[in-house]
Amino acid sequence: MRSILTTAAMLLLLPAVSVAAVHEYRLENGLKVIVKEDHRAPIVVSQVWYKVGASYEPGGLTGISHALEHMMFKGTHSLAPGEYSRIIAANGGEENAFTGRDYTAYHQTLAADRLEIAFKLEADRMRNLTLAAEEFAKEIEVVKEERRLRTEDKPTALTYEQLSAVAYRSLPYAHPV
């Protein structure tokens, strides 16, 4: 009876929870921008998602999306390796990235008045990324180690990967991330 009353009370409070509208825009260059405002804290989360991941990789090049995700932090023509992360941190923010089967995403959390910094850094990475061979070789090894820790050393993850390879044998979803 107590759980029923608790559930009923929570349902009555649901309308009080503010649900922000999601706005979608398309820029002249084709970039889709999705905005969801949330003013509970004076911060902004900026995310850039690209339609590139393991399912887009040809056989023999699996893991390349993940390696390129890492390379996005290794410098541009105007920023030294690691400088991107240092700038975000110096502005009180944090950043990271992740790769999946259908996407690679980069995200930053900063004070709301620092959004322009995140946008400028992302634009610089896309226009001016440097792909130094020695840095790329290092990141391939980092990706291999991440795979060992996240997949090869975890029976459940390894089983899922093996199942996907069989279930999606003739599809790009057979490729591991």
Residues labelled as active-site residues: 69
Give the closest residue to 168 by CA, choosing from 105, 98, 101, 69. Answer: 101
DSSP helix/strand/coil, 143: helix
Q: At CA 13, angle to CA 10 and CA 19, rounded to 5?
A: 115
Provide the β-strand partners of residue 34: 24
Sequence-distant (6+) residues with CB within 8 A of 111 are 42, 43, 44, 91, 92, 93
